[in-house]
């Protein structure tokens, strides 16, 4: 039960960070085309990393299956996002 709670805690924090980043980027609020394109691109990268790692981790924790894998996915998400943003 502790591992499941830890996955939910890490996933919840990452969800909050994801939503805050989307609000800060505001992909459709930029007035110039270059700023809008950069915001949309960064939002897409962040959403891809979130959907590929955090959502499956939360689903595995909700189903109470493969909890070590779910924790690894949840902890890998910020590292993968930093690597994607660094080399994009």
* Contact in structure between 76 and 53 (CB atoms under 8 Å): yes
User: Domain residues of the chain, as ranges?
Assistant: 2-87
pLDDT digits (tens, 9 = 90+) for 36-68: 888 888 889 999 999 999 999 999 999 999 999
Tokens of 31: 């007035």
pLDDT score recorded for residue 27: 74
* Phi-psi map region of 32: left, alpha, beta (phi>0 left; psi -120 to 50 alpha): beta
Confirm whether pTM is higher than 0.85. Answer: yes
- In the chain, the percentage of residues whose pLDDT exceeds 70 is 99
CA torsion angle 41 42 48 49 (round to 10): 160
* Contact in structure between 24 and 39 (CB atoms under 8 Å): no
């Amino acid at each position: 039960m502790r591992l499941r709670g830890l996955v939910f805690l890490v996933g919840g924090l990452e969800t909050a960070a994801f939503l805050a980043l989307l609000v800060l980027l505001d992909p459709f609020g930029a007035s110039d085309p270059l700023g809008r394109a950069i915001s949309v691109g960064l939002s897409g990268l962040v959403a891809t990393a979130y959907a590929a790692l955090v959502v499956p981790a939360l689903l595995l924790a909700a189903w109470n299956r493969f909890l070590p894998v779910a924790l690894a996915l949840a902890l890998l998400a910020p590292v993968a996002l930093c690597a994607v943003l660094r080399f994009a």
